[in-house]
Structure 1
């Protein structure tokens, strides 16, 4: 069998693990992040692959992925025209086929050694494993302002009412049983910042317990989030999620996506 033009030898075998990277105008950070991730995955003793979702970028993000050199870890491009990280993650997860899947941010703020821990738990029967900066064993380098920290505290309080027992819904490092991820991604309707809350809530609704693990996490420069500009929209998103989760499937016609309040969500 001829090797894939984007994957080298690993492309001829079905991956055990696929990792999604949502990307919006990431030409500056994506090359370094992809190098780190592919180097990590190439050391795994089984086939892996990466899906980069270009979220209607206006820079060279898609070109970087399309031109990515062949290697032991296939890198594939998926395009998503709906704005918002939630929309991009949904498109990426629905494009997977592997038994285990996950997603992480293009800046690789979470140390990639956590992949070993997450996959070990998935192999032992866990169905949802997420990085938690609030875990007592986590090491977090945080440059956020006091205002943003207060906003994060308020968000966690609201999110906790929807996903009980989860201390950090927003860390961009989440791994799943592949079947569960694809089923719940198909139900996801939140395109923006709060999409993680809906995704985790739907996993719990489907019987998947959320397991939090410690991470080493660094606050990376380049965040597009502004507390002053985005807080009101995030509160509205959480309200929509609350209402959506309490609506029985099929009880009313609903759009494929809620109208985006703001394409926020990228770190």
Structure 2
């Protein structure tokens, strides 16, 4: 058996999988999250890479990424000035070039062992594989308040009208055929928390099924979602998604917002 490639050799080869991590003021959680993610990816038998999208942070988030030690898993920075997790994920996916691409949250609330199952399914022909906390084999440690749980129930009911049959659109653990991810990301117009719904609905509109997999998920402190502050905006976002998906496409239409053109990270 040929020897395994060294870290430098591995990092110099084009990645098979790139993972996007959106980050807004994540200087406290990002170092630990990157350590976990890079350790997991370094054990995989093929080249991988991480793209951290600095979403208009005012803390040391960007500095943490630019000074991250080099290793077998390259970690690169992309900047996104448009506020919102959806805007950040879109910017990151558009900077990928690997055959497979995905994204996960900076807090690593979803156990990273799920990457093996997700990638195995993609290699077997699936095009969209997402973690689902509602899967019967998932293990979820949830410390959410009753109000937040009721809000999540209402959101799932509304999202179900746009993506029928998908039990959990919002788990921050999604993987795609790379070409499809970039094609769909280019069409995304939802910058906020509801972007996952538009992303999955557009995959469905292209005839691709959404494969849900079980995950181990822990409710991590520091969530930026607040029912009081975000519920009304999310309902509006879902309404706009519904209208966009039913509108006739206009070939020359100018997008509502553009991906960042900042030269930091991938060219």
Q: Is 2:162 the counterpart of 1:172?
A: no
Match of 2:151 in 1: 151
In 1, the alpha carbon distance for the partners of 2:20 and 2:245 equals: 25
**TM-score, structure 2 normalization:** 0.92
Q: Is the 8 A contact 1:86 1:191 kept in 2?
A: yes
Deviation of 1:206 (Å) = 1.3
Q: Is the 8 A contact 1:9 1:71 kept in 2?
A: no
Q: How many residues align?
A: 252
Deviation of 1:211 (Å) = 0.2
In 2, the alpha carbon distance for the partners of 1:79 and 1:256 equals: 18
Match of 2:141 in 1: 141
Q: Is 2:35 the counterpart of 1:44?
A: no
Larger mean Cα displacement after TM superposition, 163-172 or 199-208: 199-208
Deviation of 1:229 (Å) = 1.4
Runs of 4+, deviation exceeding 4 Å? none
Deviation of 1:187 (Å) = 0.1
CA RMSD of aligned residues (A): 1.3
In 1, the alpha carbon distance for the partners of 2:52 and 2:223 equals: 19
In 2, the alpha carbon distance for the partners of 1:124 and 1:100 equals: 12
Residues 199-231 of structure 1 deviation map (CA, whole Å, 9 limit, x = unaligned): 000011112210000000000000111111111
Q: Any residues of structure 2 matched to 1:87-236 within 5 Å, and which?
A: 87-236=87-236
Residues 256, 131 of structure 1: CA spacing in aligned structure 2 closer, same or farther, 3 A cutoff?
Answer: same
In 1, the alpha carbon distance for the partners of 2:63 and 2:254 equals: 35
**TM-score, structure 1 normalization:** 0.92
In 2, the alpha carbon distance for the partners of 1:247 and 1:112 equals: 38
Which secondary structure does the structure 1 equivalent of 2:62 belong to? helix
In 2, the alpha carbon distance for the partners of 1:78 and 1:157 equals: 34
Which secondary structure does the structure 1 equivalent of 2:162 belong to? coil
* Gap regions ≥5 residues in structure 1: 1-6, 259-267
Deviation of 1:9 (Å) = 3.0
Residues 215-265 of structure 1 deviation map (CA, whole Å, 9 limit, x = unaligned): 00000000111111111110000000000000121178454239xxxxxxx
Which secondary structure does the structure 2 equivalent of 1:239 belong to? helix
Q: Is the 8 A contact 1:10 1:74 kept in 2?
A: no
